[in-house]
Amino acid sequence: MRAFPSVPGQGVVSPVGLPLPHESAHLHVTGQATYVDDLAEVSGTLHVALGWSPVAHGRLLGIDRDRLMAQAGVVAVMTAADIPGANQCGPIVPDDPILAAGTVQYLGQPVFAVVATDRRLALRAAAIAADVIRVEPLPAVLTARQAYELGEAVVPPMLLRRGDAAAAIAAAPHRLSGTQIIGGQEQFYLEGQISYALPQEDRGLKVHCSTQHPSEMQHLVAHALGLGSNQVQVECRRMGGGFGGKESQSALFACVAALAAQRLGKPVKLRVDRDDDFMITGRRHPFEVDWEVGFDDQGQLLGARALFISNAGCSADLSAPVMTRALCHFDNAYYLPEVDLQGFCARTNTQSNTAFRGFGGPQGALVMEAILDDVARHLGLDPLRVRRANLYSRTPQDGRNTTPYGQVVEDNILPDLIDELVRSSGYEQRRSDIATFNRASPVVKRGLALTPVKFGISFNLAHLNQAGALVHIYTDGTVLVNHGGTEMGQGLNTKVAQVVAQELGVALHRVRVTATDTHKVANTSATAASTGSDLNGKAAQDAARTLAQRLVQHWAQREGVDPQRVRLTDDGLLIAHKRLSFEEAVAGAYVGRVQLWSDGFYATPGLHWDRNTMTGKPFYYFAYGAAVSEVLLDTLTGESRVVGTDILHDVGASLNPALDIGQIEGGFIQGMGWMTMEELWWHPQSGRLMTHAPSTYKIPCANDIPPRWRVELFGRPNGADSIHRSKAVGEPPLLLSFSVLMALRDAVSACAPDTRPATQIRLAVPATPESVLHALQDVRTAHTPKP
């Protein structure tokens, strides 16, 4: 990292709040940043590949182990029977086998692991899985709606209710109902799933794992092998992306690599290729949502009911908290007086779906945005006017600032933020210009939409909102930091280093953040739910603050001055009118036998949640934002293009504006891909995922970035006592992409004759050209005069 900046005559500038580069940027661009597969392989390293089920559901009769052992380079074949401990994973419900036993639950489920002297030989041996696995096919359930009708769920159904929504809807002046189809999304991290397990003395294991949750990997490996957690060390220096896909689902790969390493006494690496990664792991939950609302002449909602059916896949994984967050974000930015929400996590014979950026929140909030869009069209109003009419109030006296689950919205800055975005984006004029354009253009249509975001920050489960850190000061004045968060490209380590440097009053180049390691900080939570900087920044600040206080107390006592006259600043120690360099201050403290390392801890205050009544305060605060997007639509082909986006997003008092803007940009584009092009498709008979590689699954590329794109931060400090009054930025920006879908709906609606009543827009996600053409056909059919 480059030296920390300074201002002539003013010393070192405060690091927090500066747009500093990512701490590993120079390593990334020079190819020196090491990921798990870049680690030098120990002599004798073996390689594992997985053989997976060729059917979606079946009774497992056995495998031809002898044929597998006869393959070139194969040294071992392992099945569920070879696991000495528990053959179960699962972050909440232990219902997900490491290797299939008894039955297979989806096409792609690992049945055996083959170990070979070379990765290519292991893959070649595993490729004959369909020929060596003996399985009796059973009927498969492949869609969430089918599972719902059969009552097949991975967890009990959920209910979030306030008031009498049915009565409110029945009494409302206007009513609408519909179904929103929301597809899943592949995480498509650049670095695939990988684990490298090395045997240690006395049955110990060290596992290098690309994971967002090293502590969970440690626990599950120990559980599978019948070891104590203190015998398993999991380390993660960095990941090449995670997006939730490496929160729980890295467990299978860590456990299999560790099993092979323990059985054979050799280092073992398991790196799956992209096709196998797609076929084995889950992704963002697809949802089908049946909804019904009642509203008045201004579009203000009076009652809302919805049935959320998610495709959980074959096991529970994180489906329960994903559904909880979806239900808790159905309101998005809007007050709902009467609500009746039901959540059903459907069990299907497909990959077990898991965490993905937003963790159910985007699916819930998207439905509300589509509803308000339809309400506005039904009333002939601008959708922005209807959105504003339904926003949470900033006046507690009117009672419109409490969420359906009982949390008070205390710091609602959305009205001001939206007003500023309307002005800066020229929304009103563009709305008028687009209407003029569409009247004169029979084939190509333009669409415009502004959508807001209110996103709750914290883990759903209160006890997960804790973090620990270690900070060491060496006698040469350098600082080493270790914390429980994982770095996946988002800049967490950079922000933590800035926080520590600020607390110690030193130049940032002194501070180094090391790999996440379960032997250093124990019992950590996953780096997820946008809590990485909030939790680990506070924990590191706590440790650094303790060290700063020790240094100040030591020198105050030594110099015989009031501690108030001693402070760490400008890369040194100021004692009254005397200044020591930081090296001198530390060296003197060491001679004085001052402890120069400290642990730190943080637990988010004030959180509580009753999962039975689905009420409480699950979120420490809310992050806000809004986006205006404009699209161009070819109504003959269904092809579309985002031509402009203006974003104004709330990150509180930013720790690092450069990193935060990068996260906003990345989140928006990832969400735009989900909204428009990232389509998952399973064969309706076999249950095989057909979109399982870059050749068939398309993510946004550089050419898809809006040619006119403006991203700005709404710089208002967080009302809650977060780290330096900043706000989380990982997940909320993804929801800004809703503006693209709503703009497409706007363009589709322009195909309806002005002389006829507006229709509801039935546009599924992703809004591929095919999906858009279906929506256009619906609009044209609805407006075709009956003979």
The pLDDT tens digits for 479-506 are 999 999 999 999 999 999 999 999 999 9
- Percent pLDDT > 90 in the chain is 95
What is the C-alpha to C-alpha distance for residues 405 and 433, in angstroms, rounded to an integer? 41
Q: In the structure, what pLDDT confidence band is assigned to residue 780 with cuts at 50, 70 and 90?
A: confident
pLDDT value at 2 more than 70: no
Residue 781: per-residue pLDDT: 85
Q: Share the mean pLDDT of the chain.
A: 96
Strands (E), 604-651: 608-610, 615-617, 621-634, 640-649
Is 516 in a helix, a strand, or coil?
A: strand
Tens of pLDDT, residues 437-467: 999 999 999 999 999 999 999 999 999 999 9
In this prediction, residues 113-140 reach a mean pLDDT of: 98
What is the C-alpha to C-alpha distance for residues 41 and 259, in angstroms, rounded to an integer? 18
| Phi, psi for 450 (deg, rounded to 5) | -120, 125
**pTM of the complete model:** 0.96
In this prediction, residues 322-328 reach a mean pLDDT of: 98
Tens of pLDDT, residues 690-735: 999 999 999 999 999 999 999 999 989 999 999 999 999 999 999 9
Residue 759: per-residue pLDDT: 76
* Cα within 13 Å of Cα(621), Cβ side: 24
In this prediction, residues 745-749 reach a mean pLDDT of: 97
pLDDT value at 195 more than 90: yes
- Token representation of residue 755: 């002389």
In this prediction, residues 140-145 reach a mean pLDDT of: 98
What is the C-alpha to C-alpha distance for residues 25 and 519, in angstroms, rounded to an integer? 27
Residue 754: per-residue pLDDT: 66
Residue 12: per-residue pLDDT: 56
What is the C-alpha to C-alpha distance for residues 614 and 617, in angstroms, rounded to an integer? 10
Residue 785: per-residue pLDDT: 56
pLDDT value at 394 more than 90: no
Q: In the structure, what pLDDT confidence band is assigned to residue 396 with cuts at 50, 70 and 90?
A: confident
What DSSP element (H or E) covers 15?
none
What is the C-alpha to C-alpha distance for residues 34 and 191, in angstroms, rounded to an integer? 11
Q: Are 492 and 212 in contact (CB under 8 A)?
A: no
Q: Are 570 and 505 in contact (CB under 8 A)?
A: yes
What is the C-alpha to C-alpha distance for residues 19 and 40, in angstroms, rounded to an integer? 34
Compute the CA torsion angle 255, 260, 266, 271 (nearest 10 deg).
Answer: -60
Q: What angle do CA 494, 622, 643 make, to 5 degrees?
A: 75
Q: Please choose, from the candidates 199, 188, 170, the residue with its C-alpha nearest in 3D space to the C-alpha of residue 340.
A: 170
Phi-psi region of 675 (alpha: psi -120 to 50; beta: other; left: phi over 0): alpha
CB proximity list for 21: less than 8 A, separation 6 or greater: 1, 2, 494, 658
Q: Which residues of 536-574 are buried (b: 16+ CB within 10 A; e: fewer)?
A: bbbbbbbbbbbbbebbbebbbeeeeeeeeebbbebbbbb
What is the C-alpha to C-alpha distance for residues 598 and 543, in angstroms, rounded to an integer? 5
Tens of pLDDT, residues 30-88: 999 999 999 999 999 999 999 999 999 999 999 999 999 999 999 999 999 999 999 99
In this prediction, residues 346-353 reach a mean pLDDT of: 98
What is the C-alpha to C-alpha distance for residues 383 and 745, in angstroms, rounded to an integer? 11
Question: Annotated catalytic sites, by residue?
Answer: 731
C-alpha Rg value of the chain to the nearest Å: 28
DSSP-H helix ranges across 505-613: 532-559, 582-591
Residue 9: per-residue pLDDT: 36
pLDDT value at 4 more than 80: no
Residue 395: per-residue pLDDT: 80
Lowest mean pLDDT of 240-244, 391-395, 487-491, 629-633, name the range. Answer: 391-395
Q: Are 525 and 467 in contact (CB under 8 A)?
A: yes
DSSP-H helix ranges across 177-334: 214-225, 251-264, 274-280, 319-328
Q: Are 229 and 222 in contact (CB under 8 A)?
A: yes
